[in-house]
Structure 1
Amino acid sequence: MNDASSRRARRIALAALATAGLAATATTGLGTSAAALSRPAGHAHGTAPIPAVADHVLAHTLAFPPDTAYCQQHLGINCYSPVQYQKAYDLAPLYGHGVTGKGRTIAIVDSFGSPTIADDLHVFDQNYGLPDPPSLQIIQPAGAVPPFNNTDSTQLGWATETTLDVEYAHAIAPGAKILLVETPVAETEGVTGFPEIVAAENYVIDHRLADVITQSFGATEETFPSKASLLSLRSAFKNAARHGVTVLASSGDTGVTNYNADGSALYPNPVNSWPSSDPLVTSIGGTQLHLDAAGNKVTPDSVWNDGYGAGGGGQSHVFARPDFQDSVRSVVGPARGTPDISMSAAVDGGAILYYSFDPNRIGWHIVGGTSEASPLFSGIVALAAQYGHHRLGTINEALYRLNRRHASGIVDVTSGDISFSGVTGPAATPGYDMASGVGTVDAARFVPQLAAAGEDGQ
C-alpha cells in the first residue's frame, strides 16, 4: 500500500468510538498516534498521509449506538443520530407529505465499496426506526473490485467511507433507491483512480440509472501533471449536464489548503481540490451543528473548523469564475469559488454509523468530514427531484438565484472560518462566502424552492 493510496482512500475525518473506559489512541495517518481524540496543535494532523484530512480512529468500537450525552461525557465531543439530523434540517414536514425521495435514485461512487454494506444498513435502519431503502443495488461498471482484505487499511478506509455515504444519504431520503457504484482503483492525488471513476459515472448516466451522483473524494488541483490532464477527466460531468443528472462533491477537510502529491505535507498556501472545484459540480462544504438531544438547534450552525479538520473552500487555480457566480464576483474574484452550499461535517458533532466489515471493530462509530456533507445533500436533491417530479440537472445557477431570494430555505452561516495549518482562509460573512458558500438549508422550505428553480429533468 503506498502512502498516497492510504491518504486519499476517502475524503473523511473519522472518529470511531471507544468502549466504556475510552482509554484509547487516535491514529492519524500511517501509524502516527495521538491521545484519543486530542486536538493537534495548530490544526496540524502530522505529516503522515491520511484520508483527506483527519483519520481519528480510536482503538476500540462501541457495542451500542451512543447518544449525544454519552459522547459529551466520555469523548468530549457531540455526536448525532439520523433522527437528530432529520430534526435539524426540518425534514418532518416533507416526510409528512410523503416526500421521502420515493421514485428517485442516489448514486454513490466509492472505490472498493464494503462487503457488508447491505447488512450494515439494515442494522442501522432497525436501530433508528428507518425503513430499508426500496433497493440497494451494487454495480462495478469499471471492472471488478479486488477481493476485500480486512488487513488493508486502504480498503478499510473506503469501506468506512462507503458506509457513511450509504447510511447518511439514506437517512435524509429514506424513500430513495441507493445505487452503490464501486470502482477497482483507489482515488489518490492526481489522476490515479479517476479514469475508472469517470468510466463508472458515464455508465450510470448513459444507462439512466440515477438522478444525483455524490462523490466523497477529491485531489488537489496542483497534484495533476497538467491542467490538460485534469480537464481530460470531465466527460462524465458534461454527460451528466446533458442528461439532467445532478453531480455533487465534497469540498475537502483541510480548510483552505490540501495535501501535496505524495501526501507528505499540506501546501503552505491556499489550494483547492477537484472535482469539487469543477463548475459542473456542486461543491458541498462543511458546517458544525450545535444540537440538543432531540435535534433542536441550540445555537446557529457555524463553519466546520473544530480542531480535527475544517471544511474546504477557496479559489480554483484551474477554472475561471462561472457565470452562476457573477453575482458574488466581489467575493470569488476571477476564479471559481468553493463551496457552493454546506451541510454537517464536524467531528465534534459527528454522525453515528454502524459497520461490520472489520471483524475486529464491529459496532458503532462516529464520523465527520465533508464526506458526510455530500451524501447528506444528495438526499436533499433526491427529495427535491421527487417534489418537482423531474430531475434537477445542474443546480448551481439555481442555488445562487435562490440565495438572492427571501425565504428560499437557504440559511446563512455567519460564524467561523476555514483557516487551517497556519494558512489563512476565508471567514463566514453575511451572504455568500468561501467558507460555507450560500449557507446551509432548512429543507422544508428549501426543497420546494429548489424543485421549482432546478432544470426540467429527463
Structure 2
Amino acid sequence: MVVLPWSQLVVAVVAACPAFVLSSPLLGVTKSCAHSVKEQVYHPHGWTIDGAAPPDHILKLQIYLPQPNFHELEQALYQVSDPDHENYGLHLSKDDVESLVAPSSDSLTLVDEWLVSHGLDASSLSRSPSKDWVSIHVPVQKAEEMLRTKYHVWKHIASGSTLIRTTSYSLPTALHRHVDVIQPTTSFARAGPFSTIFRLETEEFEAPPPNAPAIVANGGLKVDAACNTSITITCLQQLYNAVGVKPSAKNGNEIGITGYLGQFASTSDLQLFFANQTPAAVGSSFKFVSVNGGLNNQSSPGVEANLDTQFAFGLSHPAPATFWSTAGSPPFIPDVGTPTDTNEPYTEWLNFILAQKSIPQTISTSYGDDEQTVPLSFAQRVCNGFAQLGARGVSVIFSSGDGGVGDGDANPATQECFTNDGRNATRFAPAFPASCPFVTSVGATFHVPEVSVSFSGGGFSNVFPRPSYQDAAVGTFLRTLPKGKFAGLFNPAGRGIPDVSAQGVNFRIFFNGRQGGVSGTSAASPAFAGIISLVNDARLSKRLPPLGFLNPLIYKLPFAFNDITAGNNPGCGTEGFNATKGWDPISGLGTPDFRKLAEILAL
C-alpha cells in the first residue's frame, strides 16, 4: 500500500495567502492570512495511489456553505411526519425549505471573495436556488492551488476503478466556519447497485404442478406456490395484501426511480414485462428525465434499471412514473477532460431534484456504498438534502445493501471490514445513504413464509446517532442481544438499519428481450416503494396529503408489518445479526401489509 508522507498531504498548514488579498473586514485579514487543514481522512482500505492527477483535468468542485437554520427544518420535518403532531401532513413548500437552508450573508460574501481572489467570476457560477452551494469547474492544478493540496489518481485494487482524490485540503482559517465541505476531495465512495448479476433463463421458469396447494405467507395470506420459485408482481400483491387494488391515474400520485452509472431503462423490455405480469399497463411507459447529461441509450439497457422500473412501475400502475438518468460514472479517463466522472452521481441527482417545483411523492434508489468511504461532513450534507425532500412530502427509499453486516462483498469468507481510521480494526460496515436517518432503508427477504436473506444489509451507523423514532424498537432489540456479543464491532448508539423489508430474491424481469432472475436489496427497495405508492394513492384519492418521510410514522405502526423472525446476515467473520421478534438489524420492522396501512392511513 502506497501512503503519502504527511508533508505531501498537507501543503502549508499555516502559510501566507498568495498574491491576491482577502480584504473583507469580516474575514479579519489584510495582506496575509493563515491557512489550516479543513478536512483530513485516511484513505479507505483497498485503495492505492496510481500517480499524480493530470494538472489540466477538469474537476467540478461543489462548495457547500453552512445551513445555520437547518435545525428548524429538521424540527419541521419531524412535525409534519409524526402522526401524533398537529402539523402532520402539512408539508413545506419548495420556498419554505429553501429559506430554511439558506446560508448567512456573511458566508455568501466571504466565499465569493475567496473565489474572486482566485480569478473566478462569482456572478457567473452555478448555485442552488437557496445558494447553499456553489459549483465551479477548475483544472486540477487550480484546485490544488486553491485548496493547498495535491490530488492523485487513486486505484481501487479489487475492481481496478480509479478516482481523482486527495486525503486532505486546507482553506484560510477564518473561512472554515463559512464552508461546510468541498467535494470531490476526500470522498472515496464508489456508489453502485445493490443487486446480484442477472441470471438468464434458457427455459421457462419452472412452475409448480397445476394442483399445487397455495402456500401461506407470514400474515396468513395465501400465496401461489410459484412464488417460492420466482417473484412476480402477482406474488408481491399476494404477499403484501394488495390483490385487487385499483389505483387512480388522476389524483396526482406519482412514483420515481433513480438511475446511475450508465444504467438505462428499456422501454421495450418494460412492455414485455407488462404483457407478462401487468397486462393493464401495456402501452404505458415512464417519463425520462436527464440529469447532468444523463443518456437514454435504449440499445444498452441495464439490469438494475430494468429491475427497478419494471417492478416499481408494475406495482404502482397507473400512477405516472419517472426515470431519472444521472450522468457521472467513474473510473477517471485520463484523456477525457470532463467533469462528469468526479462527483458521486447521487449528489448530482439530489441537487437537481431539490431545484424542481414538482416531485413524485415516492422515490426509490437501489445504489449506495460503504458508509466509512464517505467523509462525515459530506455524509451529513447529503443526508440533509434527503431531509429537505422529506419535508416537502417525499418518501425517500433506499436499499440497505447486499453485504450483510460486512463491506459489500457477497462472500463472507473474503470480507475484511477494516476501519478507515488508520487502525485497520475489524468493524461492521453499514451502507450509506441507507444509514441516513432521513431515508427509509429496505432489507431483503425470500421464501414463503418469509425469511431474512443472508446478504441483507443491516446494522448500526458509525456516523449518525440513533434518531428518537427508533429509541423504543431498537432499544428493545439491544436489550435482547446477549451481553458482550459483537462488542466493539458495531455502534449501539447509531442509527439502526434497515427500517423495513421486502422480497429480494429471484425477481423475474425482462432484459434484452429475455426473462431472467435478479436478487438483491435493490429488488426489495422498488418493491416496497410500489406498495408505499399504493398507500399514497389511497390517501390522495381521499384528499389527504402524501405520507412523506415515513420513519416517524411506521415505527408507530409495527402491527401493519409482517414481522420476520428467521434469518441472519453474516459478514466480517461473524454470523451477523439474527432476525427476531420486533425490529432487528436485518429485517427492520418487517414487510408491509398494504391493507392494514391503507385502513389506518387512508380512512
1:237–1:441 Cα change, 3 Å = same
Runs of 4+ in structure 1 off by over 6 angstroms are: 99-102
Distance 1:92 1:125 in 2: 17
- The corresponding residue for 2:107 is none
| Cα distance in 2 between the residues matched to 1:417 and 1:101 | 42
Distance (Å, rounded) in 2 between the aligned partners of 1:251 and 1:337: 11
How far is the alpha carbon of 1:145 from its aligned partner? Answer: 3.2
Looking at structure 1, the residues matched to 314 and 279 of structure 2 have their Cα atoms a distance apart, in angstroms, of 8
Quote the Cα distance in structure 2 between the aligned partners of 1:440 and 1:163. 23
Partner of 1:222: 372
Q: Residues 187 and 104 of structure 1: is their aligned pair in 2 closer, same or farther, counting only changes over 3 Å?
A: farther
- CA deviation string 1:6-58 (max 9, x = no partner): 985411123413425xxxxxxxxxxxxxxxxxxxxxxxxxxxxxxxxxxxxxx
- Please name the residue that 1:400 is paired with: 555
Asked if 2 retains the 8 angstrom alpha-carbon contact of 1:412 and 1:440, the reply is yes
Change (3 A) 1:178 1:191: same
Matched, 1:302 2:451: yes
Deviation of the 1:221 alpha carbon: 0.9
Q: Is the 8 A contact 2:257 2:308 kept in 1?
A: yes
Return the offset for 1:100.
Answer: 8.2
| Matching residue of 1:269 | 427
Q: Distance in 2 between matches of 1:8 and 1:183?
A: 12
Equivalent runs, 1:32-47 vs 2, <5 Å: none
Trace 1:41-56 onto structure 2 (pairs within 5 A).
none
Query: 2:588 aligns to what?
Result: 437
Provide the TM-score with structure 2 as the length reference: 0.55
**Match 1:322 to one of 462, 467, 479:** 467
**Partners of 1:413 and 1:101 in 2: how far apart?**
35
AA aligned opposite 1:246: S
Q: Does 1:372 align with 2:523?
A: yes
SS in 2 for 1:90: coil
Q: What secondary structure is seen at the aligned counterpart in 2 of 1:284?
A: strand
Q: Give the corresponding residue for 2:86.
A: none
Letter in 1 for 2:546: R
Among 179, 185, 196, which residue is 2:328 paired with? 185
Match for residue 66 of structure 1 among 187, 199, 205: 205
Q: Which residue of 2 aligns with 1:164?
A: 307
Gaps of 5+ in 2: 1-154, 163-189, 210-227, 332-341, 418-425, 479-491
8 Å contact kept, 1:99–1:383 = no
Q: Structure 1 length as normaliser, TM-score?
A: 0.72
Q: Percent identity?
A: 26
> Does the CA-based 8 Å contact 2:272-2:510 persist in structure 1?
yes
The aligned amino acid for 2:303 is T
Is this contact kept in 2: 1:270–1:423, CA < 8 A? Answer: no
Rounded Cα–Cα distance in structure 2 between residues aligned with 1:273 and 1:439: 19
Letter in 2 for 1:175: P
Aligned length: 362
The answer (yes or no) to whether the contact 1:319–1:336 under 8 Å persists in 2 is yes
SS in 1 for 2:501: strand
Asked if structure 1 preserves the Cα contact closer than 8 Å seen for 2:477 and 2:582, the reply is no
Aligned: 1:255 with 2:404: yes
- 1:142–1:199 Cα contact (<8 Å) kept: no
C-alpha contact 1:269 1:423 (8 A) present in aligned 2: no
Paired residue for 1:234? 383
**Local SS of the residue matching 1:144:** coil
- 1:331 paired with 2:477, answer yes
Query: CA 1:235/1:138 → structure 2, altered by over 3 Å: closer, same or farther?
Result: farther
1:413 and 2:596 are equivalent in the alignment: no
Give me the whole-angstrom Cα distance separating, in 2, the residues matched to 1:393 and 1:4.
40
Matches of 1:274 and 1:160, distance apart in 2? 22
Secondary structure at the counterpart of residue 557 of structure 2: helix
Following TM superposition, by how much is the alpha carbon of 1:115 offset from its aligned partner in structure 2, in angstroms? 5.1
Paired residues of 2:401 and 2:521 also in contact (CA < 8 A):
yes
Cα drift, residue 419 of structure 1: 1.4
Contact 2:430 2:459 in 1 (8 A): yes
Which of 341, 344, 358 aligns to 2:503? It is 344
Deviation of residue 176 (structure 1)? 1.5
Q: Name the larger-Rg structure.
A: 2
Pairwise CA RMSD = 3.0
Post-superposition shift, 1:122? 1.0
Q: In the alignment, is residue 10 of structure 1 matched against residue 190 of structure 2?
A: no
1:352-378 superposed Cα distances (whole Å, 9 cap, x missing partner)? 00022xxxxx41110011101110111
Contact 1:181 1:200 in 2 (8 A): no
Greater relative contact order (CA < 8 Å, ≥ 6 in sequence): 1
The answer as to whether partners of 1:111 and 1:182 remain within 8 angstroms in 2 is yes
Q: How does 1:42-191 map to 2 (within 5 A)?
A: 65-69=204-208, 78-95=229-246, 98=247, 103-111=252-260, 117-132=266-281, 135-145=285-295, 150=300, 159-186=302-329
**Corresponding position of 2:352:** 200
Distance between the aligned counterparts of 2:262 and 2:253, measured in 1?
21
Q: Note if contact 1:342-1:436 (Cα within 8 Å) is conserved in structure 2.
A: yes
Matched residues in 1 for 2:201 and 2:398: separation?
A: 30
**Whole-angstrom distance in 2 between the partners of 1:302 and 1:386:** 29
